Structure 1
């Protein structure tokens, strides 16, 4: 080594960094040995990136920093781009080599900080900057977040729709690692791969009431595969309102609505009769429609048969895409509170349906218990996400491991049939 020997000191000052190949200066000396700067480690390391003013680095290739000679070693390396994204890396146990383990972004500027130590234990430092070039392929993986910006109930999942399928588990991990969800108040949550092109994010429990949830992607310019690079995504911010949960008991023929844990209204209802039983489990309000024309043919009932119907329905709150609603059913008031006579929907009086319609919003929760029906589908017919145990949900994450489950939402019934 040809650097000037220095007394081993503790560094406690701010460095002024100039571009690759430039010198590193330190705080002015004040006579205190603790104020001494680390030596310039330029001759102690080699870097496989471009020289100052040279061509741009190939984002397809990993970074590599190597210790030169036998009397020094690398102690730490950090690489970060201008947007604050760090590059993961691995340092050899003997400090001889560091290499990146996560992909670089294309069209980005990076700062590489390398810390070293010589044979006497004196600390060295080298700070390098470099740019990455454009990827050779123009295929981009764009991400569209959902729902739209607005205020929702505490059961609203976040969705991420990909423009191209991603099947490989390692590539899924690259994508998922770049999708960021932050809530205030903070809450534990995870992504779950619905299929090759869609992910859902939900907390372990429901979102806190009156929370702010921000969603963004760091995938832009990141290599996903040899022919696929991350594209841009519009960030999303939603807020939540009160915690509203409506519990329908099909055996007692009642619905009780809770707001922030307190029961605020109990109403007589009717649910699905034998052969048309209402789905059990937790559903998420998908939308509200003041008027819907409901026909039996939309769920496979032959026109003119004994079960056929064609009815104008008001105050309809949708909970599945296949046509399950909570709605006004004035024709069944005599059975509400005592018998199940519907074709799968939850029916109530017009006054009660109007109250329910007014007091719930998209993302609120409707839970059905004690029905003889099947459990709400996890995916493809609305949001059945909350019917999955948390441990199983996390297994649908590429960062945790496990297989995605269920059909794509796009494979669900497109005609959105209706039941009564």
Structure 2
């Protein structure tokens, strides 16, 4: 067979399609571009899904499209539901068959578009539509995104809380594929499985300033595992403000505050004394409380001992659930800038604490350096997510082939103890 003439014909077809528009096929075997039509692929392929009116597909079963004979091949297949979700699939190298590699959604309407070509290279198309059955008697996985909608600092992670444990890595991958976080400006980011029921999402670096971040789920109707299907989830949108980072140096007893990488203040401070040293590392502002009663008994210090305390504290900015704050400490002003005398908090004068309280917001970053304390926990005691380097963070994703099991989250302290 001489392939050269057919090659010239195909090239001229492409040119005529460009001229006539994508909806017209420009060439035929008779050489008249206006008389050409794609051949009907309906008799050339088989489809494993329902073909009769009123029939529905079982979402538990994969779909397959195959060529009935060896005279043609499949060139492309897309399967998409009415919400815009595509189903992943795999096409055989010889074009003989295509099958789904990700689950169908229950109670969904699908459109499958099949592109083929015959042995002479003539294109064919077939469009198939069908519905899937409801997931009756199945357990639904509910997802709740956090924090609440609003404006946050650039260190705020996105949290997804699940109401069922997901232990299996393949099931985790299904869940993770359905949990999307989009930002404008766009950044590189990833989920990390903190526990079987909690995921955190953060970018490689802090969020951009004045960004819009949207978390949403496409798991509704998607099979996750035996008897477990995804449910609808309320989307979340947050925005970020300026980049505000406060660096507390326990060695120099100074806190330097930066806005968008420019220094805006330096404050004399005191941090944790020996035996109560402040945690090193990056923390994220969790809350701001104008007044907190701080008692030593909440952190295991016996009442009446030399280290016991029961104090009214003002302008308290919380950075850990175990009770670490940046706050006003008028009783230690003489040591601020010179010595570490607190029980773990970062203390400063009342006027400086008010300035700090008024300046920072939830999601802003407080970093402690040069302390003799332990490292900030990555999870469970606030947001220590930024203390995990990016390479390690990526291993916490179920979609990373070389990943390892994520560490279990430590339980947040229920009684919210406080230190000074």
If the length of structure 2 is used for normalisation, what is the TM-score? 0.93
In the alignment, which residue of structure 1 is the partner of 2:375?
A: 375
Name 1:22's counterpart in structure 2.
none
The answer to whether residue 344 in structure 2 is matched with residue 348 in structure 1 is: no
Shift of 1:35: 8.6
Deviation at 1:194, TM superposition (A): 0.3
Aligned residues of 2:26 and 2:34 also touching (Cα < 8 A): no
Residue 33 of structure 2: aligned partner: 33
Structure 2 alignment gaps of length 5 or more: 1-8
Listed one character per residue, the Cα deviations across residues 316-361 of structure 1 (whole Å, up to 9, x for unaligned) are: 0000000000000000000000000000000000000000000000
Q: Which moved more, 1:346-355 or 1:126-135?
A: 126-135
1:70 aligns to what SS in structure 2? coil
* 1:90–1:252 CA distance, 2 compared to 1 (3 A): same
Task: Specify whether residues 404 and 291 from structure 1 end up closer, same or farther in structure 2 by C-alpha distance, changes over 3 A only.
Answer: farther
Which range is displaced more, 128-137 or 33-42? 33-42
1:152 aligns with 152
**1:217-256 superposed matches below 5 A:** 217-256=217-256
Deviation at 1:413, TM superposition (A): 1.3
| CA RMSD across the alignment | 1.8
CA contact (8 A) 1:394 1:400 kept: yes
Contact 1:284/1:364 (8 A) holds in 2:
yes
Instruction: Name the SS for the 2:258 alignment partner.
Output: strand
* Larger helix share, 1 or 2: 2
Offset from partner CA, 1:159-217 (integer Å, 9 cap, x none): 00011011110110000011111111111100000010000000000000000001110
Deviation of the 1:136 alpha carbon: 3.9
Query: Shift of residue 138 of structure 1?
Result: 2.4
Report how far residue 40 of structure 1 moved.
Answer: 1.7
Aligned 8 A contact 1:144 1:162 in 2: yes
Q: 1:314-393 to 2 correspondence within 5 Å?
A: 314-393=314-393
Q: Check if 1:405 corresponds to 2:382.
A: no
Say if 2:25 and 2:38, in contact at 8 Å, map to a contact too.
Answer: no
What SS class does the counterpart of residue 274 from structure 2 fall into? Answer: coil
C-alpha separation between the residues in 2 aligned to 1:289 and 1:199? 27
SS of the residue 1:238 aligns to:
strand
- 1:47 and 2:43 aligned: no
In the TM superposition, what are the counterparts of 1:12-411 in structure 2 within 5 Å?
13=21, 33=33, 36-401=36-401, 402-408=403-409, 411=411
- 8 Å Cα contact 1:194-1:404 kept in structure 2: no
Change in Cα spacing, 1:337 to 1:72, as seen in structure 2 (3 Å) is: same
Shift of 1:28: 10
Instruction: Give, in angstroms, the shift of residue 75 of structure 1.
Output: 1.1
The CA distance in 2 between the partners of 1:150 and 1:235, in whole Å, is 13
Aligned-partner Cα distance in 2 for 1:33–1:175: 49
Equivalents in 2 of 1:112, 1:250: separation in Å? Answer: 62
* SS of residue in 1 equivalent to 2:94: coil
Q: 1:52 deviation in Å?
A: 3.7
Farther-moved stretch of structure 1 (368-377 vs 396-405): 396-405
Structure 1 position 32, deviation (Å): 6.7
Shift of the 339–86 alpha-carbon distance from structure 1 to 2, 3 Å rule, reads same
- CA displacement at 1:63 relative to structure 2: 0.6
Change (3 A) 1:259 1:237: same
Secondary structure class of the residue paired with 2:292: strand
CA contact under 8 A between 1:52 and 1:130: conserved in structure 2? Answer: no
Provide the C-alpha distance between the structure 2 equivalents of 1:67 and 1:137, rounded to a whole number of angstroms: 36
Counterparts of 1:89 and 1:65 in 2: how far apart (Å)? 10
Per the TM alignment, residue 95 of structure 1 is displaced from its structure 2 partner at its CA by 1.1
Distance 1:381 1:32, change over 3 A: farther
Number of residue pairs aligned between Structure 1 and Structure 2 = 403
Give distance in 1, aligned partners of 2:100 and 2:34: 32
Report the equivalent of 1:20: none
Secondary structure of 1:161's partner? strand
Contact 2:324 2:418 in 1 (8 A): yes
Q: Which TM-score applies when normalising by structure 1?
A: 0.93
Structure 2 SS opposite 1:232: coil
Shift of the alpha carbon at 1:53?
1.1
Q: Which moved more, 1:137-146 or 1:254-263?
A: 137-146
By how many angstroms is 1:311 displaced?
Answer: 0.3
